[in-house]
Amino acid sequence: MKLSEIIDKLGLNKIVDFNGDIEITDAYASDLLSDVMGNAKSGQIWITMQTHKNVAAIASLKDMPAILIIGNGNPDKEMIEHARNEEICVLVSPEPSFHVCGKLYHLITGEN
Amino acid sequence: MFVENYIILLPVKIKADLHIHTVLSPCGNLAMGPLAIVERAKELGLDIIAITDHNSTLNVEVVSKIAEKEGIFVLKGAEVTTKEEVHCLCYMPDSKKLKEFQEFLESKVIFFPNSVDKFGYQLVVDEEENILDEVPYLLINALDLSINELQKKVDDMGGIFVPAHVDRKDTSLSSQLGFVPEDLKFDALELSPYAFRNNFFERFPWFKGYNYITDSDAHFIEDIGKVHNNFEIDQIDFINIKKAIQQAPKY
């Protein structure tokens, strides 16, 4: 499913808008950046509540097209700036992680 | 020809353990009263100890008073949990700044009641180890404060800022933020006693090249001074300790 379609269906707030046409087949949820550095894969959406600038740097390093911040988190302005420079999409959901992950899982896999 | 008498000049080595908890930290053992801490520091020949409870400085002055009588210098601080859940050691230059820093920390608390059964006691004590107060909110929680904001505050107050036990697999700069943020200033980084045993620099080679202090992070009496720093300082005061921390060994 295209990222833009996921954004619509989950009602996500776009903070930095890139990569809408990219096909998304997987996501990775973690708040430990060391874990993401080790285990996330290229092309995944990253779901997290961390809002530090390093999130954008690691997303760029791991070639992840979008960062999805849960729980109405407020991304730091340095993070937004970095994401803009690196052309990474930054999204915010008001819902907690479990709900965001559950809904996204159904959307991506088509399973109910 | 031989030299009959000669003198080898050795620089004075000052032993410093800059990360010690008291009974104020919920995870701190109940034996970690000020008298016991100072007694142990004296037995070990430590010249400087730092009192660094989680998000609070309320037992610092009492340890300082007792330690002063024994000729031990107490560096006054706290181990602060940022909103990224990175633990950072923050040391203040004097009692006035420490009090101001305490007020600042209290203004950033996200209130969650402490449960003594689950987390442990958070006791403020006097010189005879009588209980003066019990902090009602959980001190190990994150404050509403980013690591960069905290660093700036400590710097503005003339303090010393050292991200704690950066090699730990939780609550550290490496676990929470992956690498050292390029815009983050600090006086040094801290290693836990286990950094080399756990091959930290092989796992995180991008943490090489910084200045490191190494402390015990003692929560139990027997852990005080488990590791310590050797500083070359002529006169023990805040300014000289700050310089020594900034010049800590590079790894």
Confidence check on the interface: ipTM exceeds 0.95, yes or no: no
What are the backbone dihedrals phi and psi of residue A98, each rounded to the nearest 5 degrees, phi first?
-55, -45
Domain A3-109 annotated CATH 3.40.1390.20: yes
Q: What is the pLDDT of residue B1?
A: 47
Q: What is the pLDDT of residue B9?
A: 57
| Upper half-sphere CA count for residue B57 (Cβ side, 13 Å) | 26
Q: In this structure, which amino acid lies at residue B97?
A: K
Separation in Å, CA of A90 to nearest CA in chain B: 18
Q: Does A58 touch chain B (CB under 8 A)?
A: yes
Reported as a single tens digit per residue, the pLDDT across A9-46 is 999 999 999 999 999 999 999 999 999 999 999 999 99
H/E segment holding residue A79 = helix A77-86
| Residue A47 tokens, joined | 């779901």
Domain locations in chain A as residue ranges: 3-109
Q: How far apart are CA B116 and CA B189, in angstroms?
A: 32
Task: Give the closest residue to B164 by CA, choosing from B121, B118, B195.
Answer: B195
CB pairs A-B closer than 8 Å: 39
Reported as a single tens digit per residue, the pLDDT across A91-103 is 999 999 999 999 9
Are B177 and A54 in contact (CB < 8 Å)? yes
Task: Give the closest residue to A64 by CA, choosing from A27, A34, A30, A31.
Answer: A27
Cα separations (Å) of B242 from B21, B93, B186?
20, 9, 11
Q: What is the pLDDT of residue B54?
A: 98
Reported as a single tens digit per residue, the pLDDT across A59-106 is 999 999 999 999 999 999 999 999 999 999 999 999 999 999 999 999
Q: What is the pLDDT of residue B56?
A: 98
Q: Return the axis-axis angle of helices A77-86 and A53-61, rounded to nearest 10°.
A: 20
Q: How far apart are CA B223 and CA B230, in angstroms?
A: 17
Q: How far apart are CA B249 and CA B228, in angstroms?
A: 12
Are B178 and A34 in contact (CB < 8 Å)? yes
Domains (range + CATH), chain B: 13-246 (3.20.20.140)
Q: Are B73 and B63 in contact (CB under 8 A)?
A: no
Q: What is the pLDDT of residue B219?
A: 97
Ranges of chain B with pLDDT below 70: 1-11
Q: What is the pLDDT of residue B43?
A: 97
